Each structure stands twice: as structure tokens, then as C-alpha cells.
């Protein structure tokens, strides 16, 4: 039915079984019902607002936002798995989405109903191939956090090291695979109904990256890389992974504590300046994307803790990306060109990164540049202002319909996702970061290190006195 070949795009291990036919049908019917309920609700609200005065429109949409968010929350808690993961992403977008969506779904970051300890114990013993008490001297049956794919328990090894043990839910990989198939089908039909809501290109990228989050060996490798990259920065802390007690479905790592990055009241009680936290976050991700070419693509609030200093604790590297060197260079050139308002440099950088439009007209690429970074720099905003996003959301579909983007590199979509999450965190922290003065030194320094032929055009067009 869909034009996406799931089995070829979704790289699951061979031993991942899908749930039975009855379970798949039940989950599919839930997803279809949810999509229909939300779609019809907004279409009905849209039609009804034609007959009422403007003073009542906002209240009508506010009620529909709340109904839709509550329906999604109920369905996610009922189905768990991939839908909770989607809700966690939605809840980070305080910069763009209505408060009704963010507040309703934010509890799913770390308050997902936990699985029974007996199930978790069996999973650990099956994966590590020995009794639980042979591996851990202590293992708290009450989880520290429970999320969409796994839950984390506090434990202590026999040598005294305190650790956090992340345990993947039994059978969750098969459920996620079935959910991806269901969501692919729903998005296919949504694109048929509404041309402005064709998200199949995003689905294709989900098919590539979600399996990474289900492989804890891959996550351990990512964590080791990030730990090495920030070894010289005492204000960035990444937990050590204990490899001898780690498998594809169980991850044992150093236990680190801190305040959840969006708990502003707790930050204030601890005497931590939220504005310094916001500044440090931007600098950390500049280091990752522009300096290292390796970045944490899932910086939602449950994955970032703060200690006095402020020191930033980074957790959960299931979704991290290592750029090829040429791609990182392209991101540097694109960033520098946007900061210097170099129109030709922006277009050239997008082409180098792999963007293609149907007729080659650059207008759509320039609109993407505003989404990527330009609008916040132009407006001197520390995060994506809601009014700018609404304006962009109106203008971009028109530009795409006139000249469709027929090829979007997957790595850029991950960068965009990461920037969206950071923008939401910036809104929560009332960020005062000046993006131009923060990012420009990185871009200038790295542009100077690029081959002269690659950097000369952009450097020649640097405007004076920006």
C-alpha cells in the first residue's frame, strides 16, 4: 500500500519477531482511529471558525488542541512503544506548539508506566546469561525512569561501583517494527488527503534511525565517542559504560545525578543560573556539530541533567550521528553562509549537502535556510519564535508546491530535529543566547581550516559590521 519498503529500509536483527496478527490489527486500528479523530477535529474547527468572530477563534482552537493532545496521550499510554517516542518529541517543542500539547505530553518524558520487575529481571538474566545477584550486589526494583523503549534501574556492582542499568522491554523491537508499518500506511493516506501534510520523507528517515535506539551496543559505542570528544571539558559529563555488563538489550553504565534541565524551579533552588545553562547547551552542540561532526540527535529534557557549575550531564546516545568529513564541512559552510547572509553561499552549500529541487529554483532552499537557522539570527532570537515559525509554516508549503524538494539528505533532517529540540529547551529556560555571537567564532575558525577552494567564495562575501 505504501511506497516505502519497510523490510529493506528498516535494519532489524534477524531474531526480532513481530507480534501476532491480532495484536498488529489492534494496534493498527488504534493508530487509524487516533489519526481520524485528530484530523476530523481540526477540520471541523477550521470550518466552524468561518462562522464566528475572531475573538472566539483562539478559544475554539485551544479546546481542540487540548482534545487532540489528550487523545494522543491516552493512545500512547495504551499502545506504548513508538507512539510514546513520538509524544516525547512533540512535548519538547515548547517553542512552536501550543501549551496544551506540550503540557499534556510532557509527562511522557520520564513518567511512562514501568514494566513489572519480574519481567525486567528475566530480561537482564536472559541477556547477561547469569542470575541477577551474580552481576549486581544491589538492584533497585523500582526504576529511576521509564520511557518508551526501556527503563532504567539503580544498581551497585560487586566492586562497589554505583551504576544505572538500562533494560529494553522484552518484545519492544517487534512492536516498534509493527508500529512503523502502521504509521507508514497512515502517513501514506494522509498525504493523499492533504498535500500539505506529506511527511513520508520523514518516515523514510525514521526507518533508518529508529533501529539504532534498539541496539545498546551501538549506544555504548556512541557514549564512548562522546565521552572522548568532551574529555577536556570539565563542564560536560558523559557516563562511562561498563562493557562487561552490556549487551544489545541491557546497558550498564556509571550512575550520574543532576537536575532535569527543564526543572527551572529546582535549578533556581540549587543556585544555578538557567541562562548560563542555555548558553552552555548551545556551545556544547556547536562543538558536536561543527567541531566534531558527531552529535547527540535526541537532546530531549529526560536526556540532559544539570549539576552546579553549571555542569551538563548528557545521557542516552541511542540516536547519535557521525558525519562523514565532507558532510561536516558542508554544514560548516552552510552555517557560515547563513550567518553572513551570503545568498550564493547558502545555495551552494545546500547543493553540496545533497539537496535537490525539481527545477533548480533556489527559493525553496533559501526558505529552508531560514528554518535551519536564519530566522532566529535575523530576529536576534535565542530560540525559534512562534510567530516566525507560523509565518514560515505558511510560506514554505507554497514554495515547496511551486518547486518541490525532491531529495533531502537524512543527516540534515537529524540536525534539524536536534535544533528543534534545543529551541524548545531554550524557550523553557528563557534563553538569552545571542546565536550570532555564539556560533560565528566556530564558523569562522572552521572555515579557515577548510580547503581554500571550498571557503574562498563564502569568505569573500562576509558582510562588514554584522
Q: How far apart are CA 308 and CA 426, in angstroms?
A: 19
In sequence order, the β-bridge partners of residue 167 are 151, 250
Instruction: State which of 144, 168, 189 marks the end of a domain.
Output: 189
Assess if residue 200 is contained within a domain. Answer: no
Are 268 and 180 found together in one domain? no
Are 291 and 434 found together in one domain? yes
Are 76 and 182 found together in one domain? yes
Assess if residue 253 is contained within a domain. Answer: no
Assess if residue 337 is contained within a domain. Answer: yes
Amino acid 18: pLDDT = 67
How many helices (H) and strands (E) in the chain?
20, 13
- Residue 437's SS3 state is helix
Q: 285 near 418, Cβ under 8 Å?
A: yes
Domain that holds residue 53: 6-108+176-189
Question: Into how many domains does the chain fold?
Answer: 2
Is 298 designated active site?
yes
Instruction: State which of 189, 218, 253 marks the end of a domain.
Output: 189
Q: How far is CA 29 from CA 23, 73, 85, 189, 192, in A?
A: 10, 16, 19, 14, 19
Going residue by residue through the chain, which has 466 residues, state the pLDDT in tens, using 9 for 90 and above: 344 444 444 455 555 666 778 888 898 899 889 888 888 898 888 888 877 776 678 788 888 889 998 998 888 888 877 787 777 666 655 545 677 887 888 766 556 778 999 999 999 999 999 999 999 999 999 999 887 789 999 999 999 999 999 999 998 888 888 888 887 788 778 777 776 555 555 566 556 667 778 899 999 999 999 999 999 999 999 999 999 999 999 999 999 999 999 899 999 999 999 999 999 998 998 899 888 989 888 777 888 999 999 999 999 998 888 888 888 888 888 888 888 888 888 888 888 888 777 777 777 777 777 766 655 565 565 555 555 445 544 555 455 555 555 566 666 666 766 776 777 788 788 878 777 778 888 888 888 877 654 444 433 343 333 3
Are 277 and 368 found together in one domain? yes
Buried b (16+ CB within 10 A) or exposed e, 428-466: bbebebebbeebbebbeebbeebeeebbeebbeebeeee
Angle between helices 200-213 and 216-229 (to 10 degrees): 90
Are 305 and 415 found together in one domain? yes
Instruction: State which of 156, 189, 222 marks the end of a domain.
Output: 189
Assess if residue 319 is contained within a domain. Answer: yes
Are 328 and 454 found together in one domain? yes
Q: 260 near 266, Cβ under 8 Å?
A: yes
10 Å CB burial of residue 41 (0-12, 13-18, 19+) is middle
Are 428 and 322 found together in one domain? yes
- Residue 323's SS3 state is coil
Are 316 and 184 found together in one domain? no
Q: 295 near 320, Cβ under 8 Å?
A: yes
Q: What is the CA radius of gyration of the chain?
A: 23
Q: How far is CA 110 from CA 13, 88, 304, 308, 428, in A?
A: 27, 9, 12, 22, 17
Are 320 and 182 found together in one domain? no
Are 331 and 442 found together in one domain? yes
Are 181 and 330 found together in one domain? no
Assess if residue 317 is contained within a domain. Answer: yes
Assess if residue 330 is contained within a domain. Answer: yes
Question: Out of 298, 316, 370, 385, which one is annotated catalytic?
Answer: 298
Assess if residue 204 is contained within a domain. Answer: no
- Smallest Cα–Cα separation from 256: which of 144, 134, 114, 421? 144
Sequence-ordered list of residues with C-beta below 8 angstroms from that of 6, at least 6 positions apart, any chain: 177, 180, 181, 184, 207
Q: How far is CA 405 from CA 109, 198, 394, in A?
A: 33, 12, 16
Amino acid 258: pLDDT = 95
Are 327 and 181 found together in one domain? no
Residue-by-residue DSSP string for 423-435: HHHHHHTT----H
Q: 123 near 168, Cβ under 8 Å?
A: yes
Assess if residue 289 is contained within a domain. Answer: yes
Amino acid at each position: 500500500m505504501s511506497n516505502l519498503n519497510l523490510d529493506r529500509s528498516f535494519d532489524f536483527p534477524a531474531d526480532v519477531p513481530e507480534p501476532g496478527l491480532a495484536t498488529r490489527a489492534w494496534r493498527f486500528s488504534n493508530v487509524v482511529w487516533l489519526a481520524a479523530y485528530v484530523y476530523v477535529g481540526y477540520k471541523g474547527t477550521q470550518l466552524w471558525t468561518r462562522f464566528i468572530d475572531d475573538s472566539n477563534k483562539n478559544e475554539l482552537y485551544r479546546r481542540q488542541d487540548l482534545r487532540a493532545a489528550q487523545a494522543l496521550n491516552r493512545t500512547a499510554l495504551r499502545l506504548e512503544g513508538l507512539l510514546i517516542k513520538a509524544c516525547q518529541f512533540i512535548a519538547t517543542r515548547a517553542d512552536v506548539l501550543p501549551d496544551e500539547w506540550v503540557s499534556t505530553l510532557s509527562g511522557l518524558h520520564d513518567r511512562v508506566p514501568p514494566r513489572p520487575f519480574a519481567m525486567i529481571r528475566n530480561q537482564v538474566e536472559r541477556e547477561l546469561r547469569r542470575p541477577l545477584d551474580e552481576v549486581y550486589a544491589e538492584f533497585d526494583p523500582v526504576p529511576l525512569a521509564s520511557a518508551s523503549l526501556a527503563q532504567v534501574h539503580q544498581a551497585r556492582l560487586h566492586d562497589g561501583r554505583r551504576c544505572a542499568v538500562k533494560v529494553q522491554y522484552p518484545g519492544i523491537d517487534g512492536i516498534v517494527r509493527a508500529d512503523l508499518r502502521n504509521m507508514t500506511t497512515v502517513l501514506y493516506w494522509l498525504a493523499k488527503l492533504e498535500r500539505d501534510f506529506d511527511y513520508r520523507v520523514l518516515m523514510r528517515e525514521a526507518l533508518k534511525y529508529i533501529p539504532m535506539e534498539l541496539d545498546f551496543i551501538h549506544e555504548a559505542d556512541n557514549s564512548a565517542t562522546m565521552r572522548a570528544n568532551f574529555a577536556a571539558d570539565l563542564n560536560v559529563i558523559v557516563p562511562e559504560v561498563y562493557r562487561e555488563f552490556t549487551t544489545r538489550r541491557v546497558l550498564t553504565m556509571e550512575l550520574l545525578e543532576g537536575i532535569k534541565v527543564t526543572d527551572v524551579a529546582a535549578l533556581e533552588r540549587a543556585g544555578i543560573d538557567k541562562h548560563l545553562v542555555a548558553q552552555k547547551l548551545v556551545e556544547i552542540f556547536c562543538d558536536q556539530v561543527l567541531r566534531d561532526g558527531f552529535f547527540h540527535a535526541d537532546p530531549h529534557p529526560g536526556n540532559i541533567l544539570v549539576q552546579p557549575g553549571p555542569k551538563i550531564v548528557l545521557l542516552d546516545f541511542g540516536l547519535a550521528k557521525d558525519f562523514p568529513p565532507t558532510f561536516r564541512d558542508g554544514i560548516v559552510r552552510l552555517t557560515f553562509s547563513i550567518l553572513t547572509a551570503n545568498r550564493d553561499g547558502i545555495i551552494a552549500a545546500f547543493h553540496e549537502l545533497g539537496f535537490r529541487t525539481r527545477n533548480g529554483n533556489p527559493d525553496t532552499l533559501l526558505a529552508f535556510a531560514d528554518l535551519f537557522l536564519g530566522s532566529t539570527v535575523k530576529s536576534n532570537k535565542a530560540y525559534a519564535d512562534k510567530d516566525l515559525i507560523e509565518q514560515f509554516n505558511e510560506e514554505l508549503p507554497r514554495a515547496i508546491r511551486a518547486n518541490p524538494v525532491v531529495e533531502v539528505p537524512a543527516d540534515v533532517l537529524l540536525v534539524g530535529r536536534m535544533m528543534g529540540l534545543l529551541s524548545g529547551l531554550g524557550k523553557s529556560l528563557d534563553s538569552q543566547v545571542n546565536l550570532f555571537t555564539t556560533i560565528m567564532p566556530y564558523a569562522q575558525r572552521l572555515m579557515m581550516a577548510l580547503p581554500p577552494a571550498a571557503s574562498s567564495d563564502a569568505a569573500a562575501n562576509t558582510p562588514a559590521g554584522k
